Amino acid sequence: MAAGNLFVIFGDKEEEKMYSQKMYELGSKKSTIRTIFEYGKQRAAIVGEENIYDFSLGNPNVPTPEFVKQAIIDILNEEDPCDVHGYTVAAGDPKVRETLADSINERFGTNFSMQNLFMTAGAAASITICFKALAEEGDEFITFAPYFPEYKCFVESVGSKLNVVPANIETFQINFEKFEEMINEHTKAVIINSPNNPSGVVYSEDTIKKLAEILTKKSDEYGHPVFIISDEPYREVVYDGAEVPYVTKYYANTLVCYSYSKSFSLAGERIGYIVVPNEVSEFADIYAAVAGAARVLTHVNAPSLFQKVVARCAGKPSDISIYEKNRELLYNGLVEAGIACVKPEGAFYLFPRTLEEDDRAFCEKAKAYDLLLVPGSDFGCPGHFRASYCIKTSTIEKSLPVFKKFVKEVYGI
Ligand SMILES: Cc1ncc(COP(=O)(O)O)c(C=O)c1O
């Protein structure tokens, strides 16, 4: 019998369960976000969609840019269908990788070639592949609260442990004091996400420099590199001219996980890539481990059509003015209602403080006003809630008096 499987007792006979308990739990327990979203749909059927203020999901609501649509049409009209829809090499079409590497170099002053890129089915695939490529028995990974909750199950899926550094709630930059207490010789990599889901905060150049300094010191001390995995699906979703430092330029042992889900609103098409720079220790072996990890995760290749699409659209900017408008509206409205919030410079989320310590209780009370918010505890940061503003501007406009009413009636503010 496989270790870890459960026995069910029938009479005095033990029978082995026919499936993995762990996978059963992952598949049957809905995430809080999904549960709230589904509740919203049910409630909308009763009170009307226009009376539900659903801030739960992070599904882009800016339409996919016209140039992406045109690229799809052109590829379908111009290129050989066997090529468009057939397998590519596992790492991705070499011409696509070359084009994307050139585009990254042009934008960030890096020096990548196609050998440094591995095309994937989006950031979730990229991150999981990196964890699997790096993890050896007994390894641990570190991330920083508030964090994308899927990291935990991705890390655990490769048999490792995720340690979460508590948040610096004043700024949502890294809490370095706690980080230095938590890093140890078993730490294989730290995963960072900037612009951040859920805080929307962009890590400053100082934050990245300090992280690089600590990791360099710790790598020397432990006698092995501690990698950075930089999860960057929101890289282009930034406001007020915010700069998102390109992490490979500050720390050699960095793997970048990128995705077009948010920047081009292509979440359903599953396309992205991993960058493994030449400067990474044992570059050739790490790149091979990435390919091996992708192989056992049944990657085969990233979607062929969309590899070509993103190559044709490389470096083109998306119009994020809707998110920008929504951010201003919601941020100002919440602050006016008496809810404190670090003003984010990126992504499409606000992560304000709740008006009582128990964030789950706060969100439950908000639900009675049809304000659907996600408790911060789900992101490892209690005392806060996440509000996604990738929703209709009119919904945000209508929600603001409701927020005021809620805060006044429940908290007397
Ligand atoms: C921080 C973060 N990382 C990764 C992902 C996964 O993105 P993808 O659709 O590219 O798999 C998301 C999606 O919401 C995210 O917010």
Cα atoms in the 13 Å half-sphere on the side-chain side of 141: 31
Residue 13 is inside which H or E element, if any? Answer: strand 13-16
Domains 31-62+320-411 and 66-312 share a fold: no
The DSSP bridge partners found for residue 192 are 230
**DSSP 8-state class, residue 389:** -
Domain 66-312 has CATH 3.40.640.10: yes
The share of the chain scoring above pLDDT 70, in percent, equals: 96
Specify whether the CB–CB gap between 253 and 211 falls below 8 A. Answer: no
User: What's residue 2's pLDDT?
Assistant: 43
Q: Tokens in use for 65?
A: 């840019």
Q: Is the pLDDT of residue 211 over 60?
A: yes
In angstroms, the CA 200 to CA 145 distance is 12
Testing ligand 1's pocket by substitution, the residue of 128, 172, 197, 265 carrying the most ligand atoms inside 8 A of its CB is 197
Segment 405-410 shows an average pLDDT of 98
User: What's residue 30's pLDDT?
Assistant: 82
Specify whether the CB–CB gap between 178 and 413 falls below 8 A. Answer: no
User: What's residue 29's pLDDT?
Assistant: 85
Nearest CA owner, ligand 1 atom 16: 197
Show me where the domains of the chain are located. Answer: 31-62+320-411, 66-312
Per-residue confidence band for 16, with pLDDT thresholds at 50, 70 and 90: confident
In angstroms, the CA 243 to CA 262 distance is 17
State the CB neighbour count (10 A cutoff) for residue 204.
18
User: What's residue 294's pLDDT?
Assistant: 98
Distances (CA, A) of 76 to 34, 40, 93, 303: 35, 38, 17, 14
In angstroms, the CA 285 to CA 78 distance is 38
Segment 54-58 shows an average pLDDT of 94
User: What's residue 368's pLDDT?
Assistant: 97
Per-residue pLDDT of 357-399, as tens digits, reads 999 999 999 999 999 999 999 999 999 999 999 999 999 999 9
Across 17-21, 89-93, 405-409, least confident range: 17-21
User: What's residue 133's pLDDT?
Assistant: 98
- Expressed in angstroms and rounded, the spacing between residue 274 Cα and the centre of ligand 1 is 13
The share of the chain scoring above pLDDT 90, in percent, equals: 92
User: What's residue 101's pLDDT?
Assistant: 98
pTM: 0.95
**DSSP 8-state class, residue 390:** -
User: What's residue 51's pLDDT?
Assistant: 94
Say which amino acid occupies 268. G
Which protein residues are within 6 Å of ligand 1, measured from CB?
58, 122-124, 148, 193, 197, 231, 233, 259, 261, 267, 272
Segment 201-207 shows an average pLDDT of 98
Per-residue pLDDT of 90-135, as tens digits, reads 999 999 999 999 999 999 999 999 999 999 999 999 999 999 999 9
User: What's residue 1's pLDDT?
Assistant: 39
User: What's residue 351's pLDDT?
Assistant: 98
Q: Which CATH number fits domain 31-62+320-411: 3.30.1360.180, 3.90.800.10, 1.10.150.240, 3.90.1150.10?
A: 3.90.1150.10
Shortest-distance atom of ligand 1 to CA 148: 1
- Of 367, 360, 364, 350, which is closest to residue 172 (Cα–Cα)? 350
Backbone angles phi, psi at 343, to 5 degrees: -75, 120
User: What's residue 4's pLDDT?
Assistant: 46
Q: Is the pLDDT of residue 7 over 60?
A: no
Q: Tokens in use for 37?
A: 């979203």
User: What's residue 236's pLDDT?
Assistant: 97
Distances (CA, A) of 135 to 83, 214, 226, 278, 404: 35, 21, 12, 20, 48
User: What's residue 10's pLDDT?
Assistant: 54
Three-state SS for 6? coil
When the pLDDT of each residue in the chain is averaged and rounded to a whole number, the result is 95
Say which amino acid occupies 198. P
- Of 191, 91, 84, which is closest to residue 135 (Cα–Cα)? 191
Across 6-10, 238-242, 393-397, least confident range: 6-10
Per-residue confidence band for 17, with pLDDT thresholds at 50, 70 and 90: confident
Segment 293-317 shows an average pLDDT of 97
Per-residue confidence band for 12, with pLDDT thresholds at 50, 70 and 90: low
In angstroms, the CA 76 to CA 85 distance is 10
- Expressed in angstroms and rounded, the spacing between residue 26 Cα and the centre of ligand 1 is 18
Backbone angles phi, psi at 398, to 5 degrees: -70, -25
User: What's residue 15's pLDDT?
Assistant: 63
Say which amino acid occupies 105. N
Cis peptide before 352 (omega within 30 of 0): no
Shortest-distance atom of ligand 1 to CA 193: 1
Shortest-distance atom of ligand 1 to CA 347: 16
Per-residue confidence band for 8, with pLDDT thresholds at 50, 70 and 90: low
- Expressed in angstroms and rounded, the spacing between residue 271 Cα and the centre of ligand 1 is 11
